[in-house]
Structure 1
Amino acid sequence: MAEAAPRDRAMGHGTGAPSITPQAVAAQHGALLWPTTAGAATWWCAADPVAARVRLWRCTTPGAPAQQVLGEDWSVGNAAIGYGGRPYLVVPDGPRHRLVFTHSADRRLYSAHVDAGPAADEAPVPLTPADPEGVRTAYADPIRGPGGGEVWCVRETTRTDPGGESDPAPRTTRDIVAVPLSGVAADAPDAVRVVARSHHFLSGIRLSPDGSRLAWIGWDHPDMPWDSSDLMVGRIHGGVVVEPARVLGGDGVSVPQAEWADGNTLYAMADPAGWWNLHLVAPAGDGARSVCVLPAEAEYSHALWRVGATSFAVTAAGVLLRRSDGAQHLELWDPDTGALTELAEEWTDFAFGHCGDAAAVAVVAASPTETATPLRITLAPPQDGRAAGASVARCLPADQDRFGPRHSVPRRRTVRVEGGWEVPYLYYPPTGPGHNGPADRLPPLLIDVHGGPTSRTTGTRSPVISLFTSRGYAVASVDYGGSTGYGRAYRDRLRRSWGTVDVEDSVAVARALAEAGLADPRRTAIRGGSAGGWTALAALAHTDVFCCGSVYYPISDPETWSGGRTHDFESRYIETLLGVLPEDGDRYRAVSPLAHADAITVPFVMLQGLDDTICRPDQARRLVDAVERAPGPGRCFRYLEFPGEGHGFRRAATVAAALQAELDLYAEVMGAP
């Protein structure tokens, strides 16, 4: 369907047009990912919305201008498990650095030497062979192999399916492999050596400092990694792993990350007590000893959605980790004293990807008043009775945001629901000059539903949310049951209750804000993408709370979102969320938006990428068609399909068109705020 020309119909409270536009939001840089340190330099990836590529950036010293590494034709990334994995490694190599990275265009692993200038001083050369016909390969989470002559990484190999309907799990294998840095494997595929095999899914490979052992995370269908996963350790003999054994996890315990402290000891996050807390693991013989060294009713880790994602780092000064209690805190834990020191206190969110060495760690941080930025944490170990020290430096200057006061600062709130659960959410009040609304009229409300569903809201400056709040809309982002950051029991509220708990929690937030006099109950909409799109559709089908909705690349029919109808990583996820077919078919049909399309009686916009392999276009198309055929007032206000876009929009033009479609819908249905 042709994209509509952008229009700016939604006016804010008061007089004058709002200055934050869909085009301005779309033009801002995309997500910052995978920060790391190498010597004095700090590196990270950033999405380029204009070119629809991911660029690699480097800051040689804090305060110096950031430099784009590699040329314009290169895009650093991979599609491991559908959501990607750590795509690059920087290692010292004489006076220069050797960069090893995956190129998203051809999926191969490349190498280049980088000097002090703004670009690679030699053209990148391939380290791995081109994919043969009928095979797609992804390399992720590279580390330096023992001896320095190889890079070790997770290799994902998928035999393609021309028909597009066969189960991806039997067609997909994952191995830990060794790739020679000499480049010989580029023309000799057999030169890539398998180091270890264990599970269907692999992540977080870590070589011990003495090079004698390898640790990694693995899990198998039907578990998701936050349900149950294994920390594996094996000895390295003759360039391969021998005697691999599980040392932590399994049997309903999730281990998202592990890092070595020395050749015989490693730290790991695990949740045997219901919270992702720090454990010390000492592999020994046929078994292992583990103890929780930082017990707390708080989450110190993350749901593992990307291969190699991290949330803590082991340094000479202690363990740097993040703690979540709604907001996030960056803390340094001293293993000798048990003391916790909070760092970077002005920041409230720290993205996955903490990475570094004994002396420095890089993180991506954000706050309610600042967009995400890379930070370099320089650490000094305790010495002569003095405590460990740390300094925090920005790698980019403070953002000179011309929209300034038009951004809304979120407020953390909770609402109590059935069962005594407290549902957290972020309330963004209407803001911006002249857009606070008349005193005798409540503002319209947008309930924002995050994806995942094993994800979480972030209380940080959001250009998308500010687009709406600057026009006079209030926004509430809900951490419904199933969200991370609140322990396993809260995550497990969603087990076999998807489409029920998430909807009820979203409705509870909308009603609580209306009762508090902060939102107009007659002008309340819902928006979400992916799993959030499912919740938005289910809310429109099963409640009468929302007057309209915006739906991005959703699941609409749970009976066909499994096996060959989605990607390998989530091809069994529905069994946790709703149950096993055919015996649980009644539950599937009871909550399915597609099965209840005739109950959707309010307008909505549907926005779908045509290259989406996770939530395929037929999920959106069938729902739109069913609503249009059903009797009654329900209708799709606008359905836009975007060629070249997948699960999550990358191009600035796509983002702007989608946001404009939302604004048009809200203006028509809810009127001027």
Structure 2
Amino acid sequence: MTKVDKPYGSWPSPITPEDVAAAPGAPQWPSVVGEQTWWCAPDPATATVGLMRRGADGEVGSVLGADWPVGNKAIGYGGRPYLATPDLAVFSCSRDQRLYRLADVPVPLTPADPDGVRCSNYSDMILGPTGTEIWAIREVYEIPQTNRLTDPAPRTTREIVAIPLSGAAAEDPDALRIVARSHHFLSTIRLSPDGTRLSWLGWNHPVMPWETTDLMVASILDGVAVAPVRVLGGDEGSGGVDSQGSIDTQVSVAQAEWADADTLYALADPDGWWNLFRVDLAGEETTATNVFPTQTECGHAIWRVGSTSFAVTDAGVVLRRSLGDETLILWDPETGETTDLAPGWTEFASSVSGSAGSIAVVAASATEPSTPLRIDVARRDTVRCVERAEYPHEAWVGVPERRHVQVEGGWQVPYIYHPPTNPGYRGPSDTPPPLLIDVHGGPTSSTVATRHLAFALFTSRGYAVASVDYGGSTGYGRAYRDRLRHTWGVTDVEDSVAVARALADAGLADPRRTGIRGGSAGGWATLAALAHSDYFACGTVYFPISDPGTWFDEQTHDFESRYVHYLIGDPDKDAERFAKVSPLAHAAEITAPFIMLQGLDDVICRPDQADRLVWAVERVNPGLVRAYHRFPGEGHGFRKDETMSVCLQAELDLYADVLGAGK
């Protein structure tokens, strides 16, 4: 096909906002269940998540049907919502947050909460040592009895509880038994193979789990965890053990799994990277040894309860390894050798799950959408659990490229470049394309070099997109994450501008036609960039933080209610620093047009964060806010396809007006 010359930003494209919004979400939480493989599948049409399975015969179908959506609200972002074995399945229903045992009609295992008094959820389930109970992390949130916002932390408790499989606790809450209490936050409960020990991760305010966590181990006596001790992790002087047997300083343990009755494998970062450690408990003193030292990341930031980056199998440990593109490797503890288990796949979600001989994982690549895989570790056989659906506009979907730019201090800032892509059109040789800088959330998330249909909505029209792993992103070690400590609103903005300038210098972007977009912490960075930089011509802001001086304690959910202590500082002692970076405090300095998109049920970044920023800008620059859409029934991260259609169309309208041809 001969391409037609047409200005960038004006190319016709068959990819529509409705097309992108209707695309299925990425699968989650895969599991090996005997000869079957199970996973969770988001459905944008219903804004729910269903439980799916692939049988040994290759047939794929729903486990529960549309009437039983799965999910929970653990720490605000959810946790592993089901446990499945060949003989048993238990799941958390997203409608009422109760646990149910799978049967012809699901049987409730946990009591209903009294309306308006408390909300409970259960996540990261395991089978108890007697086989008659499910053990899970229970989170209980006491609902305020006044209209005044109060700090959620004192009203939230978490503990490990035993839930009878008989269903006795569904009507009698006293039938639940507390197995263990330790920290304000809990994750990754695991029972030793002989059923005599329990391990879990814990941490307390004000730290976040990528700063420090404790790996706890306790003996099981009469169904209760007794005498728990920390065996790895912790803060300075806390008693954790590093790879040389010394007291550690600040260590985050991202995951731990039992290898045998006396040995755990754990992902920990005393050396600055989440590497694989072996924790030996058999001797008089616990020892922790880095068995796979590498200056690459093998772990993950805990944003969801029970997230996993490795699995223990009979053939060795299967784990993700990354510094940019990821690999899924098998590490042999006898020889130390590694084997690439999934060549061709370059991104793996933090949901690696396994059994003795097989593992399940969600994988993607530059040309492949996220899909669940089942891999026979011994035979190295890979089964794609869902056949790739034919997409009629594949030629309009670009292939991303990994790049980086060097910034002050010698840091390399990685980013993913998505070039303008259209089989029928090309831009003029003497004019570079308009650019959209995409800023991920978290901020300890990271961008991925995968087939991206939402970006194709823009690139197929002649825009370039660059998604930035600014300082603070996960995947590049603790030192890179800590670049954002007390520099939120500075480092993320400077790195985003540096990427935009580098692409302009390379002739791949028009510096006069560069926009910025992002949600949550990415929405914050977008507003901060508009307030503190004059580089960007426009912005798209999804559910942001705009006023960090009010984004803590009662103004957000429990998990992140002290996060600003790391990101900016103490709200009482560092008021000047808060005011300096606050987009709301500098609303009058925002001169580029933008759109704001906010869910009215968002308890993480409450609507008033968006409201007050919009009002402040409109007071001094009427008309600068090109659109403000407030969506009832949407929380933090939009889930309805009609919502996303409206948002994406609003983006297209903004970019066409501000960045389009002739601008």
TM over 0.5: yes
Contact persistence 1:177–1:193 (CA under 8 A): yes
Give the partner amino acid of 1:234.
A
Specify the alignment match of 2:135 in structure 1.
Answer: 152
Contact persistence 2:434–2:660 (CA under 8 A): no
* Correspondence 1:204 to 2:188: yes
RMSD: 1.3
Q: Shift in Å at residue 494 of structure 1?
A: 0.2
| Match runs of 1:494-573 below 5 Å | 494-573=484-563
Contact persistence 1:322–1:330 (CA under 8 A): yes
Contact persistence 1:350–1:366 (CA under 8 A): yes
Q: Shift in Å at residue 16 of structure 1?
A: 6.2
Of the three residues 376, 379, 397, the one matched with 2:377 is 379
| Match runs of 1:411-422 below 5 Å | 411-422=401-412
Alignment partner of 2:595: what SS?
A: strand
C-alpha offsets along residues 289-324 of structure 1, whole Å, 9 cap, x if unaligned? 110000010000100000000000000010000001
Q: Distance in 2 between matches of 1:634 and 1:545?
A: 20
Specify the alignment match of 1:49 in structure 2.
Answer: 44
Q: Shift in Å at residue 583 of structure 1?
A: 1.2
* Correspondence 1:458 to 2:452: no
Q: Distance in 2 between matches of 1:16 and 1:584?
A: 49
* Correspondence 1:76 to 2:70: yes
Q: Distance in 1 between matches of 2:554 and 2:475?
A: 31
TM-score, scaled to structure 2: 0.95
* Correspondence 1:88 to 2:57: no
Of the three residues 640, 647, 671, the one matched with 2:660 is 671
Give the partner amino acid of 1:525.
G
Q: Shift in Å at residue 437 of structure 1?
A: 1.2
Specify the alignment match of 1:386 in structure 2.
Answer: none
Q: Shift in Å at residue 112 of structure 1?
A: 1.1
Of the three residues 94, 107, 112, the one matched with 1:130 is 112
More displaced 10-residue stretch of structure 1: 572-581 or 163-172: 163-172
Alignment partner of 1:618: what SS?
A: helix
Contact persistence 2:10–2:660 (CA under 8 A): no
Q: Distance in 1 between matches of 2:156 and 2:147?
A: 16
Residues 285 and 190 of structure 1, relative CA distance in 2, 3 Å threshold: farther
Percent identical: 62
Alignment partner of 2:174: what SS?
A: helix
Give the partner amino acid of 2:169.
A
Specify the alignment match of 2:101 in structure 1.
Answer: 111
Alignment partner of 1:51: what SS?
A: coil
Give the partner amino acid of 1:151.
I
Specify the alignment match of 1:654 in structure 2.
Answer: 643
Give the partner amino acid of 1:132.
P
Q: Distance in 2 between matches of 1:198 and 1:309?
A: 20
Give the partner amino acid of 1:157.
V
Specify the alignment match of 1:27 in structure 2.
Answer: 22
Specify the alignment match of 2:353 in structure 1.
Answer: 355
Give the partner amino acid of 2:269.
D
Q: Distance in 1 between matches of 2:27 and 2:149?
A: 34
TM-score, scaled to structure 1: 0.94
Contact persistence 1:38–1:356 (CA under 8 A): no
* Correspondence 1:320 to 2:304: no
Alignment partner of 1:594: what SS?
A: coil
Contact persistence 1:364–1:373 (CA under 8 A): yes
| Match runs of 1:540-619 below 5 Å | 540-619=530-609
Alignment partner of 1:371: what SS?
A: coil
C-alpha offsets along residues 174-211 of structure 1, whole Å, 9 cap, x if unaligned? 00000000101000001010000000000000000110
* Correspondence 1:487 to 2:477: yes
Contact persistence 1:600–1:634 (CA under 8 A): no
* Correspondence 1:430 to 2:420: yes
Alignment partner of 2:489: what SS?
A: coil
Specify the alignment match of 2:245 in structure 1.
Answer: none
Q: Shift in Å at residue 568 of structure 1?
A: 0.2
Residues 568 and 164 of structure 1, relative CA distance in 2, 3 Å threshold: farther
Q: Shift in Å at residue 287 of structure 1?
A: 4.3
Q: Shift in Å at residue 163 of structure 1?
A: 2.2
| Match runs of 1:332-371 below 5 Å | 332-371=330-369
Alignment partner of 2:311: what SS?
A: strand
Q: Shift in Å at residue 285 of structure 1?
A: 6.9
Alignment partner of 1:660: what SS?
A: helix
Q: Distance in 2 between matches of 1:102 and 1:423?
A: 40
Q: Distance in 1 between matches of 2:518 and 2:295?
A: 29
Specify the alignment match of 1:645 in structure 2.
Answer: 634
Q: Distance in 2 between matches of 1:489 and 1:398?
A: 38
Residues 541 and 14 of structure 1, relative CA distance in 2, 3 Å threshold: closer
Residues 552 and 12 of structure 1, relative CA distance in 2, 3 Å threshold: farther
Of the three residues 60, 64, 67, the one matched with 1:66 is 60
Contact persistence 1:14–1:438 (CA under 8 A): no
Of the three residues 266, 279, 285, the one matched with 2:277 is 279
Q: Distance in 1 between matches of 2:198 and 2:346?
A: 34
More displaced 10-residue stretch of structure 1: 367-376 or 431-440: 431-440
Give the partner amino acid of 2:444.
T
Q: Shift in Å at residue 61 of structure 1?
A: 2.4
Alignment partner of 2:644: what SS?
A: helix
More displaced 10-residue stretch of structure 1: 152-161 or 69-78: 69-78
Q: Shift in Å at residue 14 of structure 1?
A: 8.9
C-alpha offsets along residues 257-280 of structure 1, whole Å, 9 cap, x if unaligned? 000000110100000000000000
Q: Shift in Å at residue 356 of structure 1?
A: 2.0
Alignment partner of 1:611: what SS?
A: coil
Residues 14 and 448 of structure 1, relative CA distance in 2, 3 Å threshold: closer
Runs of 5+ consecutive residues of structure 2 not aligned to the other structure: 1-5, 236-249
C-alpha offsets along residues 477-498 of structure 1, whole Å, 9 cap, x if unaligned? 0000000000000000000000
Give the partner amino acid of 1:54.
V
Specify the alignment match of 1:244 in structure 2.
Answer: 228
Alignment partner of 2:45: what SS?
A: coil
Q: Distance in 1 between matches of 2:281 and 2:149?
A: 43
Q: Distance in 1 between matches of 2:622 and 2:419?
A: 31
Alignment partner of 2:349: what SS?
A: strand
Specify the alignment match of 2:399 in structure 1.
Answer: 409
Q: Distance in 1 between matches of 2:375 and 2:650?
A: 41
Give the partner amino acid of 1:79.
K
Contact persistence 1:111–1:127 (CA under 8 A): yes
C-alpha offsets along residues 575-623 of structure 1, whole Å, 9 cap, x if unaligned? 0000002211100000000000000001101000011010000000000
Q: Distance in 1 between matches of 2:7 and 2:422?
A: 9
Q: Shift in Å at residue 379 of structure 1?
A: 2.0
Contact persistence 1:598–1:634 (CA under 8 A): no
Q: Distance in 2 between matches of 1:164 and 1:377?
A: 52
Specify the alignment match of 2:150 in structure 1.
Answer: 166
Alignment partner of 1:26: what SS?
A: helix
More displaced 10-residue stretch of structure 1: 408-417 or 527-536: 408-417
Contact persistence 1:81–1:568 (CA under 8 A): yes
> After TM superposition, what 4+ stretches of structure 1 lie above 6 angstroms from structure 2?
none
Specify the alignment match of 2:298 in structure 1.
Answer: 300
Count of aligned pairs: 641
Give the partner amino acid of 1:36.
S
Specify the alignment match of 2:625 in structure 1.
Answer: 636
* Correspondence 1:232 to 2:225: no
Q: Distance in 2 between matches of 1:164 and 1:466?
A: 44
Contact persistence 2:11–2:460 (CA under 8 A): no
Residues 352 and 18 of structure 1, relative CA distance in 2, 3 Å threshold: same
* Correspondence 1:142 to 2:136: no
Alignment partner of 1:75: what SS?
A: coil
Q: Shift in Å at residue 128 of structure 1?
A: 0.2
Q: Shift in Å at residue 398 of structure 1?
A: 2.4
Of the three residues 267, 289, 303, the one matched with 1:291 is 289
Alignment partner of 1:446: what SS?
A: strand
Q: Distance in 2 between matches of 1:525 and 1:549?
A: 5
Q: Shift in Å at residue 73 of structure 1?
A: 1.7
